[in-house]
Amino acid sequence: MSEPKGTKGKTSRRGFLAAVAAAGTASAAPALAGNPKNLPPNVPDWSRTLGDGVAVRAYGSPSKFEKNVIRRDVEWLTATRESSVSFTPLHALDGIITPSGLCFERHHAGIAEVDPDDYRLMLHGLVDKPLIFTLEDLKRLPRVNRIYFLECAANSGMEWRGSQLNGCQYTHGMVHCVEYTGVPLKLLLEQAGVKANAKWILAEGADAAGMDRSIPLSKALDDCLVAYRMNGEMLRPEQGYPVRLVVPGWEGNVWVKWLRRIKVGDQPWFTREETSKYTDLLENGKARRFTFVMDAKSVITSPSPQAPCRQKGFTVISGLAWSGRGKIKRVDVSLDGGRNWRTARIDSIVLDKACVRFYYEFDWNGEALLLQSRAIDETGYVQPSKDDLRKIRGVNSIYHNNGIQTWSLKPDGEVENVEVG
Ligand code: MTE
Ligand code: CO
Question: What pLDDT sits at residue 77?
Answer: 87
This prediction's pTM: 0.93
Q: What is the pLDDT of residue 32?
A: 60
* Mutational test site, ligand 1, from 83, 107, 230, 247, max ligand atoms within 8 Å of CB: 107
Specify the pLDDT at position 169. Answer: 98
Please give the number of the atom of ligand 1 that sits closest to the Cα of 240: 23
Lowest-confidence pick of 13-22, 61-70, 313-322? 13-22
Per residue in 191-222, pLDDT (tens digit) is: 999 999 999 999 999 999 999 999 999 999 99
The confidence band for 11, taking pLDDT boundaries of 50, 70 and 90, is very low
The percent of residues in the chain predicted with pLDDT above 70, rounded, is 92
Which ligand minimizes its atom distance to the CA of 83? 1
Residues in contact with ligand 1 (CB, 6 Å cut-off): 103-108, 150, 152, 176, 205, 207, 209, 211, 238-239, 252-253, 255-258
What confidence tier does 31 reach under pLDDT thresholds 50, 70, 90?
low
Q: How far is the CA of 411 from the centre of ligand 2 (A)?
A: 37
The model's pLDDT over 245-288, given as tens digits with 9 standing for 90+, comes to 999 999 999 999 999 999 999 999 999 999 999 999 999 999 99
- Ligand 1 pocket test, candidate residues 87, 152, 172, 225, most atoms within 8 A of CB: 152
In this prediction, residue 78 carries a pLDDT of 86
Which residues share a beta bridge with 416?
408
Query: What percentage of the chain reaches a pLDDT higher than 90?
Result: 88
Atom 11 in ligand 1: which residue has the minimum CA distance?
Answer: 107
Q: What is the pLDDT of residue 34?
A: 87
pLDDT tens-place string over residues 150-187: 999 999 999 999 888 999 999 999 999 999 999 999 99
CA separation for the pair 187, 183 (Å, rounded): 7
**Ligand number nearest to the C-alpha of 205:** 1
Atom of ligand 1 nearest to the CA of 210: 3
Using pLDDT thresholds of 50, 70 and 90, give the confidence band for residue 27: very low
User: Ligand 1: which atom is nearest the Cα of residue 273?
Assistant: 14
DSSP string, 116-146: GGG--EEEEESBSS-EEE-HHHHHTS--EEE
- Using the Cα atoms of residue 186, residue 191, residue 195 and residue 201 in order, give the sign of their dihedral: negative
Q: Give the position, in ligand 1's atom list, of the atom nearest the Cα of 152.
A: 16
Question: Is the confidence at residue 188, as pLDDT, over 70?
Answer: yes
Instruction: Say yes or no to pLDDT of 1 above 50.
Output: no
The predicted pLDDT at position 259 comes to: 98
What distance in angstroms lies between residue 85's CA and the mean position of ligand 1's atoms? 9
Among 255, 271, 274, 279, which residue has the most ligand 1 atoms within 8 Å of its CB, making it the best to mutate?
255
Report, as an integer, the average pLDDT of 340-353.
98
Give the Å distance between the CA of 107 and the centre of ligand 2.
Answer: 8
> How far is the centre of ligand 1, averaged over its atoms, from the C-alpha of 200 (Å)?
20
Residue nearest to atom 14 of ligand 1 (CA): 253
Write out pLDDT tens, residues 227-253: 999 999 999 999 999 999 999 999 999
d(Cα 136, Cα 140) in Å, to the nearest integer? Answer: 6
| 84 touches 78 (CB < 8 A) | yes
Identify the pLDDT of residue 20.
Answer: 47
356 close to 328: Cβ distance less than 8 angstroms: yes
What is the phi-psi region of residue 159: left when phi exceeds 0, alpha when psi lies from -120 to 50, beta otherwise?
Answer: alpha
Quick: pLDDT tens for 287-305: 999 999 999 999 999 999 9
pLDDT at 2 over 70: no
Cα–Cα dist 405/418, whole Å: 8
Question: Which ligand is in closest contact with the Cα of 86?
Answer: 1
Residue 46 backbone phi and psi in degrees, to 5: -70, -10
- Region 368-385: mean pLDDT is 98
